[in-house]
């Protein structure tokens, strides 16, 4: 009897006749719009067919499908699967495909949005994030770093229970900092913990909490910010890097344009990732930065070399997409812009192609500052180009200004004057 039932099930087209049949076309269109390769497309569709067979056997209504149902399918059914016909068994592929399926079903209004479980810590961090955003005007990355650190403190102290700020004593803060400092290799990076904690406790002080004792519980680690020279590429290394551009290869036109943005304009990783087609004025030769670290709009001249690199990428390599970002993903989902991490990875790969032993994308920003000083620019002009809010931030480059340093250098004691 069981064999007869399996034979009957094997003759069913689970995509056309199964419980998910009304939503298969929307799922296929979702994959098509994001540019998934034919093999990935077929695997995703096969994964949905396997899942449809399972929910039919379980008599599960489509409206009750959620993350828990997917976890039950992957954890309980998949290890002992006896579904009829050739079906997908790759757990990673199934998990990805069913994640896309949930997105489609929610977009169609078939299933409810995921239930959001919030704890007192979550609510506290939400309010603190609003304060950092609207009152202090901090950038998203800065806020994210602070929230992660404060979350560790509050979770370690209160777990899922109500937050009682008065219960946090200086010894708790010092113990927490000692534990967190082990995660950082440099004093400057460990200082981010102190900054996050003090910022949070000052926020609580503004609400009327008596937290003055814990604000001063920890001090910034000793760190002489101007003790070393900022690392830059030499003129010869810049030539090697530029000489490695323009090579044929996959996604190399995008890489050339990204490197040019960092080297010629001194843009940060996030600024490059967030560039939009609407930010470039080709007629007057300018580029507008709308999402900067300083949270203001800046208009910069677009160098000819940078413009040519961007134009070559847009004309010859950029995938067709409705997304207005300049730099978009070349792999599915293709309608998404690149992120700062991909920008950093692209620059690291450019270093490797040029035979340079570097990894940091920010090195090109330092290099640009050094080239400006070598060309006769003042520190104020460098600060304007790098878009520093305070001239103090630019002072570290004063040690690279050999032209002016020679003029004020005193003779070494004992040497010929």
User: Domain limits at 37?
Assistant: 2-107
> What does the angle CA 322 – CA 324 – CA 328 come to, to the nearest 5 degrees?
85
To the query of whether residue 131 is one of the catalytic residues in this protein, the response is no
Spatial separation of the C-alpha atoms in residues 266 and 272, rounded to whole Å: 10
Quickly list DSSP for 80-113: G---SSS----HHHHHHHHHHHHHHHHHTTSSPP
| Active-site hit among 157, 198, 268, 371 | 268
Spatial separation of the C-alpha atoms in residues 6 and 53, rounded to whole Å: 11
| Active-site hit among 293, 330, 334, 345 | 293
Q: Tell me 325's DSSP state.
A: B
Do 294 and 334 lie in a common domain? yes
Do 249 and 390 lie in a common domain? yes
| Active-site hit among 30, 200, 351, 397 | 397
Do 254 and 359 lie in a common domain? yes
To the query of whether residue 362 is one of the catalytic residues in this protein, the response is yes
pTM higher than 0.75 for the full model?
Answer: no
To the query of whether residue 212 is one of the catalytic residues in this protein, the response is no
Which residue ranges in the chain fall short of pLDDT 50? 1-11, 408-409
**Residue 184 included in any domain:** yes
Of the candidates 53, 68, 66, 71, the one whose C-alpha atom is nearest the C-alpha of residue 10 is: 53
Chain segment 76-115, per-residue pLDDT in tens = 998 888 887 778 888 999 999 999 999 999 999 998 888 7
Q: How many domains does the structure of the chain reveal? A: 3
**Residue 226 included in any domain:** no
**Residue 410 included in any domain:** no
Do 146 and 255 lie in a common domain? no
To the query of whether residue 388 is one of the catalytic residues in this protein, the response is yes
Spatial separation of the C-alpha atoms in residues 252 and 313, rounded to whole Å: 9
| Active-site hit among 151, 172, 290, 362 | 362
To the query of whether residue 365 is one of the catalytic residues in this protein, the response is yes
Do 37 and 16 lie in a common domain? yes
- The mean pLDDT of the chain is 84
Q: What pLDDT score was predicted for residue 33?
A: 84
> Which residues, including other chains, have CB under 8 Å from residue 214's CB and lie 6 or more apart?
168, 169, 170, 172, 173, 197, 201
| Active-site hit among 365, 366, 371, 387 | 365
Token readout for 137 is 């005007």
Q: What pLDDT score was predicted for residue 320?
A: 85
Spatial separation of the C-alpha atoms in residues 151 and 183, rounded to whole Å: 16
């Amino acid at each position: 009897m069981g064999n007869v039932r399996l034979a009957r099930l094997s003759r069913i087209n689970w995509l056309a006749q199964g419980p998910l049949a009304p939503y298969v076309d929307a799922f296929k269109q979702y994959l098509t719009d994001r540019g998934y390769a034919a093999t990935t497309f077929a695997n995703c569709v096969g994964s949905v067919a396997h899942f449809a067979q399972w929910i039919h056997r379980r008599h599960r209504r489509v409206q009750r499908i959620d993350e828990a149902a997917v976890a039950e399918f992957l954890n309980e059914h998949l290890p002992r699967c006896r579904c009829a016909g050739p079906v997908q068994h790759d757990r990673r592929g199934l998990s990805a495909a069913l994640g896309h399926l949930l997105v489609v079903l929610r977009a169609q209004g078939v299933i409810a949005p995921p239930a959001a479980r919030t704890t007192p810590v979550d609510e506290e961090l939400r309010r603190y994030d609003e304060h950092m955003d609207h009152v202090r005007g901090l950038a998203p990355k800065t806020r994210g770093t602070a929230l992660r650190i404060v979350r560790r403190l509050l979770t370690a102290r209160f777990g899922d229970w109500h937050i009682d700020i008065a219960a946090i004593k200086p010894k708790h803060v010092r113990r927490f900092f000692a534990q967190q400092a082990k995660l950082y290799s440099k004093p400057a990076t460990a200082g981010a913990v102190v900054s996050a904690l003090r910022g949070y406790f000052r926020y609580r002080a503004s609400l009327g909490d008596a937290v003055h004792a814990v604000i001063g519980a920890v001090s910034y680690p000793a760190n002489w910010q101007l003790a070393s020279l900022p690392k830059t590429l030499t003129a010869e290394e810049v030539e090697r890097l530029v000489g490695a551009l323009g090579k044929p290869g996959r996604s190399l036109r995008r890489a050339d344009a990204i490197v040019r943005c960092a080297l010629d304009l001194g843009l940060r990783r996030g600024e490059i990732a967030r560039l939009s087609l609407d930010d470039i004025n080709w007629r007057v030769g300018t580029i507008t930065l709308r999402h900067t670290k300083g949270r203001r709009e800046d208009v910069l001249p677009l160098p000819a070399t940078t413009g040519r690199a961007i134009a070559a990428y847009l004309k010859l390599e950029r995938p067709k997409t409705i997304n207005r970002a300049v730099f978009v993903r070349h792999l599915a989902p293709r309608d998404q812009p690149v992120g700062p991490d991909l920008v950093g990875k692209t620059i690291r790969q450019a270093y490797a192609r040029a035979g340079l032993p570097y990894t940091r994308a920010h090195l090109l920003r330092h290099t640009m500052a050094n080239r400006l000083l070598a060309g006769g620019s003042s520190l104020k002009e460098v600060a304007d180009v790098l878009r520093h809010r305070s001239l103090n931030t630019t002072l570290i480059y004063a040690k690279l200004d050999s032209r002016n340093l020679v003029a004020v250098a005193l003779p070494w004691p004992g040497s010929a004057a």
